[in-house]
Amino acid sequence: MESGNLGKLTEVSFRFDRYKMELGQKYFKENNQYISSGLTYDLGPHIIDQAISLFGKPLKFSKTTSINRPNSQVADYFHYHLRYPNELNVFLTGSLAVADPLPAFVVHGTKGSFIKTMADVQEQQLIDGMLPDNPAYGVEPNGSEGKLVTIDNTNQKHISYPLPHRGDYNLLFNDIYENLVNEVEYPITMDHIRWQIEMLSADNNL
């Protein structure tokens, strides 16, 4: 997006797809007596945060949720439509009833498209005992590359597969350190948090 190779952005989609029809073991996530229960509060903050970090506060948004798992009390599907200036539409979706996950990142612009599956490996590597100083930490496996399709001035299509950046959760903690010790501005502002809470707590309006 920063390179300008995609032109003016027209549509962006972030998804968190899983297939887990059984109820989870964490009581607070499955009980509707808790405000923060359900998939919207579980996975929603991750992709809402991505949208806010990239594009800021939307001009307006709509939200819909639904319950699909047997005996579930809480939403296991959410979808947001965010409207931004310059006719940019951003869609954020999460579901626990997707047997064949769709691409997690889809970006369309007036000059091209970028599509990539969810492939971050850090969480599983940490669970498996790998430490962040391991050279393999955060490196996605072969075949995880995104697909970049661009159209040049002669209307010719060009396809490439950019290598993904090495993931590094430590960058977040470095920012916390710099903020606390050196008073460097933290990249997540109070406004970002307010906007996110507003979106999470909104009623369905679709």
Q: Compute CA distances 90 → 68, 128, 188, whole Å.
A: 24, 34, 20
pLDDT value at 118 more than 90? no
pLDDT at res. 29: 86
126-166: per-residue pLDDT in tens? 999 999 999 999 999 998 999 999 999 999 999 999 998 89
Which distant-in-sequence residues (6+ apart) come within 8 Å of 54 by Cβ? Answer: 1, 12
31-49: per-residue pLDDT in tens? 888 888 999 999 999 999 9
